Amino acid sequence: MKTLLTGVTAISAVVASIALADDTSLINQMDMKPLTPQESAQLRAERDAAKAQWTKLTPEQRQAIKDGAKTKKQGELSAIERMGQDDDMQAATKSETAQLKAQREAAKAKWDAMTPEEKNAVRKAAQQKRASELSEIERTGQNDDMNRYFTY
């Protein structure tokens, strides 16, 4: 009986080690082979030819190529990626930045001039406005989060 139990334990250990072993077949398939001198020379020649062709182009042609590549890339993006890309491309100018900074400083000065009761009233109004703008699902999640917060 001890021999049988020892044999089963040994077999299960081997099976477990095989099952838990890392699958290296994917890594082995991705092995990169070094370029041969001929391939390296060919790629270098192609790169040099492309650079020479690029230097021959006029600035308008270069810009047209860049715009085409940008349009192609944007066409391949998902809707969410496109929205993020558009937001990144709308950087504020210096005058817009100065105007926004002035607005922020004016709002901060107004906030600092308020009494604590006025600040609490503004906070409460903002919370009510935000709560009224939430969808039903968001409201349910918000309530669930608040219940979890207050139960700790």
Global pTM value? 0.32
Instruction: State residue 76's pLDDT score.
Output: 76
Instruction: State residue 41's pLDDT score.
Output: 93
74 and 85 Cβ atoms separated by less than 8 Å: yes
**Tally: H helices and E strands in the chain:** 8, 0
Instruction: State residue 110's pLDDT score.
Output: 92
Instruction: State residue 86's pLDDT score.
Output: 61
Mean pLDDT for back-to-back runs of 10 residues, the chain (152 residues): 54 53 59 84 94 92 90 76 62 77 92 92 87 75 64 56
SS (H, E, C) 4-62: HHHHHHHHHHHHHHHHHCCCCHHHHHCCCCCCCHHHHHHHHHHHHHHHHHHHHCCHHHH
Instruction: State residue 10's pLDDT score.
Output: 54
